[in-house]
Amino acid sequence: MPKENDLVVLKFGGTSVQDSASINNVINIVKNIKGRKVVVVSAISRATTSLENIAKYASKSKIADSEKLLEETINRHHTIINDLITDQKLKSEAVERIISYHRHIAELIKGLSIINELSLRTLDAFRSFGELMSSTVIFHAMKSAGMDIELIDSRNIIKTNNDFSRAYPDFEISAQNAETILKPLLNGEKIILTQGFIASTEDGITTTMGRESSDFSAAIYGSLLNAGEIQIWTDVDGVLTTDPNIIPHSLKLSEISFKEMEELSNFGAKVLHKNSVKPALKKNIPIKILNSKNTKSSGTIVSSKLSYPKLVKSITYKKNIIVLRVQPKESLGQFIFWEMMLSILSRHKPQIDLFLSSSNSIIIVIAESAYTKIHYDELKSEFSEISDCEIVNEKILITLVGSDLSSIDNFEQRIFISNPGVKADSVLFGYSRHSFSLLIDEKDFVKTMKNLHKEFFEGQLTNNSLFENTLKKKERLMAK
């Protein structure tokens, strides 16, 4: 009987499966990993956003736009089938499945164009086709490459509540499904391929767990199966000192603790979905962040080990946030106000990043996810009934993450001295002292990021083995 711990969950994100060459690369990576394997895949890059737009066009009766975008998305899958699947039987099977998904989406488009309404439940149905189609194509390509693989529909394993668009799993029910459906296959040495992001309610209605949540799916599978390791394969060398789109020379971290990583993804680092750390932390399963385009890089290990205390490890940010400045109406007593405010918040369930309060005013910082946008106007009008409420949009929340930040010598001074002229509205240490956030004007964003990166990281390479240089894109291509 194989040991539980030889089990690896591997997740490949949208760019790692974006085209035939990338999928070929994925096949080689999976083949080279030892042990029992569960492979979780995202939709091919941009497919989920396209499916959202297809649904939005349809609900506004823009049928031609909707169908054109659908055609483009479907064709990308047919191209991959043509390029990668050599076995004729497997090829026609894959083509048939994609045609059947195409038909199904076309029917949904017709329905939406009649009712002219798009609920979060229907949006989830549309979104789910991205992962359903990518996994179909990848499954047949892997089979054609001689792999002993089984395609499992994630909706039969991960069961969630019906909070469409950001559904949350029931780990107990899902664990039973994993035990009865997945364990026998894994013990029979089959590789399992499944979809990230999608799941279903107990009644079988399709849900999704939030944009970018395939990482979370991988962590859920790791937890359900008590895996030895969760590998997140993406398009960067690991967790970096900041988003490389803002600072191209950002450095790679060799390791980071669960708690720090959780804070980093909560405050916006796209490299790992914010819900992913908890299931891994609970079962103490290390997460490795790896680059599918540069397999020579050692990646970043996220684990319970906390090395390098009193150090800033990474800087992250959140754009498109809503800042609610609330001054309670004097006619309302303090406790009545709080009660009414909590009732509004619990009805709309916005994702609150920061909550600052003084005796007569409150600042609520909300990540403006697609979900919150839908509720934006209602939220504002309800708050106006109980307070003088101002909503500010052009702000960015920058967060420094590390360990025991409050013990770093001159920490706050270094932040402000390195940023002369920048006005920060609110500053706050996170509860755990793993983070320090500042709210700044959009116009100061890039300048502040550059200054902070220089202050806390540049010059660190020589005196700290935590930080490593990453290969620039061009160098990476040459190294191949």
Of the listed pieces 243-251, 355-363, 364-372, 445-453, which binds ligand ADP according to CB under 6 A? 243-251
CB-based closest residue to ligand ASP: 214
Q: In angstroms, what CA-CA distances link 267 with 156, 224, 435?
A: 32, 26, 9
**Which one of ligand ASP, ligand ADP, Mg ion, none interacts with residue 196, CB within 5 to 8 A by kind?**
ligand ASP
Rule CB under 6 A: say whether 236 interacts with ligand ADP.
Answer: yes
Q: CA-to-CA distance for 415 and 38, rounded, in angstroms?
A: 43
Q: Please give the residue ranges that form the binding site for Mg ion (CB under 5 A).
A: 13, 212
- Please classify residue 24 by burial: count the beta carbons closer than 10 Å to its beta carbon, then call 0-12 exposed, 13-18 middle and 19+ buried: middle
**Which one of ligand ADP, ligand ASP, Mg ion, none interacts with residue 130, CB within 5 to 8 A by kind?**
ligand ASP
**Which one of ligand ASP, ligand ADP, Mg ion, none interacts with residue 211, CB within 5 to 8 A by kind?**
ligand ASP
- Here the tokens at position 58 are 């349809």
Nearest by Cα to 352 from 437, 227, 423: 437
Is residue 53 within 8 A of residue 129, CB to CB? The reply is no
Q: Which residues pair with 428 in a beta bridge?
A: 437
Determine the straight-line distance between the first and last CA of the chain, rounded to whole angstroms. Answer: 39
Give least dist CB 206 to ligand ADP, A.
21
Q: Which of 126, 130, 300, 365 binds ligand ASP (CB under 6 A)?
A: 130
Which amino acid makes up residue 378?
A: E
- Here the tokens at position 172 are 């107990």
Give least dist CB 216 to ligand ASP, A.
8
| Tally of CA atoms within 13 A in the half-sphere of 26 that contains its CB | 33
Count of residues that interact with ligand ASP, criterion CB under 6 A: 12
Judged by beta carbon, residue 320 or residue 464, the one nearer ligand ASP is 320
Which amino acid makes up residue 454?
A: K
CB-based closest residue to Mg ion: 212
Q: In angstroms, what CA-CA distances link 389 with 323, 333, 363, 423?
A: 10, 17, 10, 22
Nearest by Cα to 210 from 371, 403, 449: 371
**Which one of ligand ADP, Mg ion, ligand ASP, none interacts with residue 136, CB within 5 to 8 A by kind?**
none
Rule CB under 6 A: say whether 275 interacts with ligand ADP.
Answer: no
Judged by beta carbon, residue 134 or residue 387, the one nearer ligand ASP is 134
Binding mask 138-177 for ligand ASP (x = CB under 6 A): ----------------------------------------
Under DSSP, the state recorded for 297 is S
Give least dist CB 215 to Mg ion, A.
6
Judged by beta carbon, residue 274 or residue 395, the one nearer ligand ASP is 274
3-state secondary structure of 149: strand
Judged by beta carbon, residue 47 or residue 253, the one nearer ligand ASP is 47
- Here the tokens at position 357 are 């309060």
Q: What's the chain's length in residues?
A: 480
Is residue 301 within 8 A of residue 254, CB to CB? The reply is yes
Q: CA-to-CA distance for 78 and 228, rounded, in angstroms?
A: 36
Give least dist CB 134 to ligand ASP, A.
8
Rule CB under 6 A: say whether 81 interacts with ligand ADP.
Answer: no
Judged by beta carbon, residue 25 or residue 435, the one nearer ligand ASP is 25
Judged by beta carbon, residue 213 or residue 297, the one nearer ligand ASP is 213
Residues forming the site for ligand ASP (CB under 6 A)? 13-14, 42-43, 48, 130, 196-197, 211-214
Which positions lie near ligand ADP, rule CB under 6 A?
13-16, 42, 212, 234-236, 239-240, 242-245, 269-271, 314
